[in-house]
Structure 1
Amino acid sequence: MRKPKAYVEVSCLCCGELGPHNGRGLRKTCYLRHFHAGTLDDFPPLGQTLTCLWRRENYAELRERNIPLREAAERLGVHQRTAERYEARLKAAA
């Protein structure tokens, strides 16, 4: 069975409303509207910045609750090595 896809909620760059991120900093409704209007290029791609940020924040929350590194990685759907990198960032920031 597949895990449900996690999504990041953003303040849309087009309308400013909160909603699930669909790409380029836009909610799904605005993304589709700009896609069909041919104006999607007005909003440059964000890359994987938001998803990665979301994972790091959730990783920090899990570790604060004393969830072991391996289990935190499994819950976020990342490799253990990625979780180790998140851990190193947390220690460096402290």
Structure 2
Amino acid sequence: MTAPRVEVECACCGGTGLHQGRALCHACYQWHHENGTLHKYPQLHTWLETLARIADFAELRGRGLSVRRASAALGVTARSGQRYEQRLKARQAVTS
């Protein structure tokens, strides 16, 4: 299943469009890619934020909070909390 595309305010043109990467809309990303100027727009490392949230989630779960309550405390959906829980269990299975 593909992740839903998010609309962003483009860092280049200022318009609103579907996010392609580097805070650029699809058209601007393509233009900068073809013209070799993507380096002007650094990559967004949102996965680092996710890793930090998963660590916070693990701490909350360690304190005895349910998946739903830990998710609410982090401001994420219950489904995201379930995904974090699955990642933590998979990580434990590898280390066991």
TM-score, length-scaled by structure 1: 0.52
Describe the superposition over 1:43-86 as per-residue Cα deviations: whole angstroms up to 9, x where unpaired. Answer: 1111116x95xxxxxxxxxxxxxxx8398226x8833367xxxx
Amino acid in the other structure paired with 1:20: L
Structure number, greater radius of gyration = 2
**Counterpart in the other structure of 2:7:** 9
Compared CA separation, residues 23 and 40, structure 1 to 2 (3 A): same
What runs of 5+ residues in structure 2 fail to find an aligned partner? 51-66, 72-76, 88-96
Partners of 1:73 and 1:80 within 8 A in 2 = no
Counterparts of 1:1-94 in structure 2, within 5 Å, are 3-48=1-46, 69=68, 72-73=78-79, 78-80=83-85
Amino acid in the other structure paired with 1:46: L
**Counterpart in the other structure of 1:92:** none
Give the Å deviation of 1:7: 2.1
Amino acid in the other structure paired with 1:34: H
When the two chains are superposed, the root-mean-square deviation of aligned CA atoms in Å is: 3.1
Compared CA separation, residues 6 and 39, structure 1 to 2 (3 A): same
* Distance in 2, Cα, partners of 1:78 & 1:32: 32
Q: For 1:35, what is the secondary structure of its paired residue?
A: helix
Give the Å deviation of 1:29: 0.7
Amino acid in the other structure paired with 2:79: A
Superposition misfits of 4+ residues, deviation over 4 angstroms: none
TM-score, length-scaled by structure 2: 0.51
Size of the aligned set, in residue pairs, is 63
